[in-house]
């Protein structure tokens, strides 16, 4: 026999057992690892708490935290209890084991193995499912807060006549409870069934009964609960039809249609009754001890779901709706139109007819009106950033965003003018910075000042700056110039301590240093705080660096959008934060929205898609920060500001009637200031937000129609045109511009866009919204609807005319000479005396610097040949004639050529008119412009005008000679 002396006793000799020192070391390392993980978790929690406390929104942190903890423990413990209870009950109801079958003999090994650990297994399984359920429930904190704090809309849905708050605040919570109930019952059913099988209550192969009476009763109750929950689901589904998506008519259409109201709704009611009866049959198994009736009832419910819930609605759709769809669906479409227009704030849109052709033939009057119609901006904020960079960067550790902003500031004489503005922010990617930890986080900490230029003027192609240089000079007056918080400030800085910061640097003044004196950020005097941030930022130097001392503060979460989103996690944030000098400080203004996905009958929109355009596509910094991407209700309910020096975040109530905002204000009291707290100077810089406007214009492509029959035909569907100035194919961005719409007595700062018919290039409508926050007409949407009986050129056609006109094409080719590039600015559309004036600045990027300089302006009006001149004034003069000049230039778009006494001149002008008409006809072919015919017509037009001019000179010369 083998020697077993070193078997079980072997470890005692120390041959295979670790020494005491090794065991202590392993234990120590294990404890340290646990402590390290615990401190890492603590560091994340602690730094979050410190940050919220530093911005004075600690109530947001605590409310969110306690809500999550409450939901976690309530639903986690409830799930753990019911699952554990059912396992314990199944074990308690186990049958006595006597003569066992082969199946039970095989299971006996597992029972024996689990016997010593039964209690621990019960606790472990219950805890595991409780943790999962609790974590899932904690993610529903928004749903809970909206349910418990919901306020009424004081509007009722047209089908069930319930307040809309039921769908927006209550139904989501009931659906969560229902889903939680289903999950809990299914887990209990699985756990109970497995336990019954393990201990003999259920048998698969053994002779005799397959289930004991106890197991039958237990599982029947659970199945009855499941079917009862299904009955509740059928009942809630009735209301869910009011917010159900159907993809009807090329959109995410919600609300009941004919088949929903006349087939699905009664079907859901019938299925509810059948499910209740079926649940009672399962509960009755406790007394009957047989599943026969309950199984029959369950089969009947499944069959009914197929026939009543699926087949019957399909028959109604096929044989009642499709043969006469418009008549059947019209009443429901009308409800959808009304609800959608109300939910998106477009119900008060003013649609007026607009001819699209001049009301007057007086060019002198048109020339004067053109100056009054709009402050036409030739400085495109999306192009001139490199020019700002070159002229006003000063040092390469400063920078400007790729897209500047448009605002209004008073001139020296007190008049408001459209102004292109940008902040000189810190740019750590500058080549002049020697990168190390001290420079990146202690020395280079902030930008300095704003730069502004007139939107309507250029000086030899360059911006005319109204605020410039370091230290700042210009028209904006004194303000605190340091920019510690900005769109490009994405890293942390440690300020206010022994290490001095670079304030600004110029060739004249040299390098100036400063030390942050604001109260922003988190104090690092506390060693616990330093250790927490060292772990949270994975930077051990924070813990021991001598550059950190008394007064040191760490600044992070520094972009305006992320600060607003953090302090108000229930808001959706507009993609474009813009700067303004307000009350002596640089303030970032951020528009924020409240949204809902539960507005009955309102069509849904995807925010990420509808807010994308040629400027925002592919750029995260211009993208909307959405809490929920699919919405069918939106309001610009909050205006927020972020101080560029202190980082202070202020939320102001803007929409005082919005029930969603009122609900969140109840949930987070004290976080939103009243509208009356907005200062007059701040109010003058608030504007209508771009992302809301883009959502509304996308909806108005279909919902400008208020008649259900017309809506169903689809004959009036519009589209947002692609940006004609580039080849991206993305939507044209809306533009801010001070302009005067028909019916307005003076210019108003507006946001505008154009529409074209679906699949065509001609213009169908022009849309503008009054964007002046201190105006009584703020938010008023005006739509100029052009007649369908005539063709008015749209943006793409106008751009094509610019590109194809021979003289302009030749001039563009010359501008592109050498290594220069030509770039088209924003194509602006301005209503003018019944027609539409198109203006487009042209930029030339020349030389190795490739700076865009505004060199030319393209202008056209009501079919006139486009003008391509050095300045806007010259271009308007060429289109309409010089102001004060009573001799207007010939209008080649007139019905008849100007009179002339000379037959040669008269014939040449007749030929010119024919050539012009031929060119216009070529551009407006049904299948698209015929460019070959257009080019020939332009060539003929040029030749005819040259002959007319030559003949006129000859005739004038002869008359002069005869007189002499």
Helix (H, G, I), strand (E, B) or coil at 417: strand
pLDDT tens digits along 573-584 = 999 999 999 999
Alpha carbon of residue 56 to chain centroid: 27
pLDDT value for 919: 64
CA distance 654 to 640: 10
Neighbours of 115 (CB within 10 A): 8
Q: Rounded to an integer, what distance in angstroms lies between the CA atom of residue 613 and that of residue 64?
A: 34
Of the given ranges (143-152, 160-169, 449-458, 910-919), which has the lowest mean pLDDT? 910-919
> Is pLDDT at 602 greater than 50 in this prediction?
yes
Q: Which residues contact 622 (CB under 8 A, 6 or more apart)?
A: 403, 575, 576, 615, 616
Show the tokens assigned to 502: 């670079």
Cβ atoms of 558 and 446 within 8 Å: the answer is no
DSSP 734-750: PEEEEE--TT-SS-EEE
Taking the C-alpha atoms of residue 686 and residue 142, their distance in angstroms, rounded to an integer, is 29
| Percent of the chain at pLDDT exceeding 90 | 58
Q: Identify the CA nearest to 594 among candidates 650, 642, 638.
A: 638
Model pTM score: 0.85
Cβ contacts of residue 645 below 8 Å, gap of 6+? 480, 482, 483, 484, 485, 518, 520, 585, 586
pLDDT band at residue 958, thresholds of 50, 70 and 90? very low
Mean pLDDT of the chain: 86
Mean pLDDT (whole number) for 92-115: 71
d(CA 617, CA 608) in angstroms, rounded, equals 10
Say whether pLDDT at 15 is over 90. Answer: no
Q: How many Å apart are CA 253 and CA 336, to the nearest integer? A: 8
Burial-class residue 200 by CB neighbours within 10 Å (0-12, 13-18, 19+): buried
11-15: long-range contacts (C-beta < 8 A, 24 or more apart)?
A: none
Q: Is the pLDDT of residue 686 over 80?
A: yes
Assess whether pLDDT exceeds 90 at residue 211: no
In this prediction, residues 380-391 reach a mean pLDDT of: 91
What is the residue whose two structure tokens read 């607003």? 564
Q: What is the DSSP string of 484-544?
A: SS-TT--S-EEESSSS-EEEEEETTTEEEEE---S--SEE--SHHHHHHHHHHTT-THHHH
Taking residues 352-365, report their average pLDDT: 87
Asked, as a colleague might, if the bond just before 451 is cis with ω within 30 of 0, I would say: no
Of residues 796 and 906, more confidence is placed in: 796
How far apart, in whole angstroms, are the C-alpha atoms of residue 745 and residue 327? 44
Q: Quote the pLDDT of residue 894.
A: 37
728-745 mean pLDDT: 90
b/e per residue 520-547 (b: at least 16 CB within 10 A): bbbbbeeeebbbbbbbbbeeeebeebeb
User: What's the CA gap between 836 and 855, in Å, rounded?
Assistant: 23
Alpha helices by DSSP H, listed for 723-864, are 795-804, 806-815
Between 257-271, 378-392, 450-464, 814-828, the lowest mean confidence (pLDDT) is in 814-828
The answer on pLDDT for 103 being more than 50 is: yes
What does the alpha-carbon distance between residue 506 and residue 484 come to, in Å, rounded to a whole number?
A: 19
Burial string for 443-470 (b: 16+ CB within 10 Å, else e) reads bbbbbbbbbbbbbbbbeebbbebbbbeb
Residues 281 and 294: beta-carbon distance below 8 Å: yes
């Amino acid at each position: 026999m083998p020697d077993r002396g070193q078997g079980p006793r072997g470890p005692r000799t120390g041959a295979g057992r670790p020494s005491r020192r090794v065991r202590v070391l392993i234990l120590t390392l294990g404890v340290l690892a646990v402590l390290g993980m615990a401190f890492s978790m603590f560091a994340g929690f602690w730094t979050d708490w410190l940050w919220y406390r530093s911005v004075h929104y600690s109530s947001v942190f605590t409310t969110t935290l306690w809500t999550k903890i409450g939901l976690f423990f309530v639903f986690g413990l409830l799930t753990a209890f019911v699952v554990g209870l059912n396992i314990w009950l199944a074990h308690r109801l186990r049958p006595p084991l006597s003569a066992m079958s082969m199946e039970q003999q095989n299971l006996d090994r597992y029972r024996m193995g689990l016997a010593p650990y039964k209690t621990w297994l019960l606790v472990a399984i219950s805890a595991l499912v409780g943790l999962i359920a609790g974590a899932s429930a904690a993610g529903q904190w928004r749903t809970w807060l909206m349910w418990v704090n919901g306020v009424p809309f004081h509007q009722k849905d047209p089908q069930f006549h319930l307040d809309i708050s039921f769908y927006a605040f209550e139904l989501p919570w009931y659906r969560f409870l229902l889903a939680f109930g289903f999950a809990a019952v299914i887990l209990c059913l699985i756990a109970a069934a497995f336990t019954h099988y393990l201990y003999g209550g259920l048998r698969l192969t053994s002779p005799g009964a397959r289930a004991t009476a106890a197991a039958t009763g237990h599982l029947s109750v659970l199945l009855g609960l499941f079917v009862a929950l299904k009955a509740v689901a059928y009942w809630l589904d009735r209301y869910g039809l009011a917010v159900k998506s159907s993809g009807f008519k090329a959109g995410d259409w919600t609300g009941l249609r004919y088949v929903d109201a006349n087939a699905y709704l009664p079907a859901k009611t019938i299925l509810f009754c059948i499910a209740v009866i079926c649940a009672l049959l399962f509960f009755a198994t406790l007394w009957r001890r047989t599943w026969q009736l309950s199984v029959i009832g369950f089969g009947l419910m499944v069959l009914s779901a197929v026939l009543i819930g699926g087949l019957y609605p399909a028959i109604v759709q096929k044989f009642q709706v499709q043969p006469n769809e418009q008549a059947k669906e019209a009443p429901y479409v009308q409800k959808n139109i009304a609800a959608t227009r109300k939910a998106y704030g477009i119900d008060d849109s003013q649609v007026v007819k607009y001819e699209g052709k001049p009301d007057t033939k007086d060019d002198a009057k048109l020339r004067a009106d053109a100056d009054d119609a709009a402050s036409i901006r030739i400085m495109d904020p999306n192009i001139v950033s490199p020019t700002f960079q070159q002229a006003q960067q000063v040092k390469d550790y400063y920078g400007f965003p790729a897209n500047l902003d448009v605002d209004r500031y008073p001139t020296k004489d007190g008049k408001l003018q459209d102004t292109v503005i940008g902040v000189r922010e810190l740019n750590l990617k500058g080549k002049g910075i020697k990168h190390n930890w001290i420079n990146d986080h202690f020395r280079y900490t902030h930008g300095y000042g704003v730069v502004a230029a007139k939107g309507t003027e250029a000086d030899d192609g360059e911006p005319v700056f109204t605020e410039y240089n370091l230290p700042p000079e210009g028209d904006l007056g004194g303000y605190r110039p340091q920019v510690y918080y900005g769109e490009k400030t994405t890293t942390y800085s440690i300020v206010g301590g022994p290490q001095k910061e670079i304030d600004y640097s110029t060739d004249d003044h040299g390098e100036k240093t400063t030390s942050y004196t604001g109260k922003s950020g988190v104090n690092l005097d506390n060693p616990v705080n330093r250790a927490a941030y060292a772990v949270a930022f994975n930077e051990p130097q924070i813990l021991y660096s001598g550059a950190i001392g008394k007064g040191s503060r760490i600044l992070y979460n520094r972009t305006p959008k992320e600060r607003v989103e953090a302090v108000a996690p229930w808001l959706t944030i507009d993609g474009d934060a813009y700067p303004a000098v307000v009350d002596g400080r640089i303030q970032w203004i951020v528009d924020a929205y409240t949204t809902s996905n539960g507005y009955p009958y309102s069509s849904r929109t995807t925010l990420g898609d509808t807010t994308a355009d040629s400027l925002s596509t592919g750029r995260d910094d211009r993208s909307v920060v959405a809490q929920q991407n699919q919405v069918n209700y939106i309001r610009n309910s909050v205006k927020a500001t972020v101080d560029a020096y202190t980082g202070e975040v202020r939320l102001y109530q803007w929409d005082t009637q919005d029930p969603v905002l009122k609900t969140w204000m109840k949930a987070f009291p004290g976080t939103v200031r009243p509208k009356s707290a907005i200062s007059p100077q701040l109010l003058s810089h608030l504007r209508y937000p771009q992302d809301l406007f883009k959502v509304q214009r996308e909806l108005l492509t279909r919902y400008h129609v208020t008649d259900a029959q017309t809506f169903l035909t689809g004959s009036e569907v519009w589209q947002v045109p692609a940006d004609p100035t580039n080849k991206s194919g993305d939507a044209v961005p809306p533009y801010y511009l001070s302009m005067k719409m028909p019916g307005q007595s003076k210019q108003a700062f507006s946001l505008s866009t154009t529409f074209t018919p679906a699949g065509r290039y001609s213009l169908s409508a022009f849309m503008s919204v009054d964007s002046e926050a201190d105006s009584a007409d703020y938010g008023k949407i005006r739509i100029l609807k052009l007649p369908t009986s005539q063709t008015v050129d749209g943006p793409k056609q106008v751009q094509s005319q610019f590109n194809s006109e021979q003289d302009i094409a030749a001039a563009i080719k010359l501008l592109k000479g050498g290594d220069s590039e030509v770039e088209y600015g924003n194509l602006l559309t301005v209503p003018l005396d019944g027609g539409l004036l198109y203006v487009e600045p042209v930029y030339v990027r020349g030389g190795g610097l490739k700076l865009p300089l505004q060199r030319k302006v393209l202008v056209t009006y009501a079919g006139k040949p486009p003008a391509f001149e050095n300045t806007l004034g010259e271009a308007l003069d060429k289109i309409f004639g010089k102001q004060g000049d009573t001799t207007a230039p010939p209008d080649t778009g007139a019905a008849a050529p100007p009179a002339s006494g000379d037959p040669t001149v008269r014939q040449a002008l007749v030929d010119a008119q024919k050539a012009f008409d031929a060119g216009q006809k070529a551009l407006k072919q049904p299948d698209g412009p015929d460019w070959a015919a257009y080019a020939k017509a332009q060539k003929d037009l040029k030749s005819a005008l040259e002959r007319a001019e030559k003949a006129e000179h000859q005739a004038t010369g002869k008359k002069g000679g005869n007189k002499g």
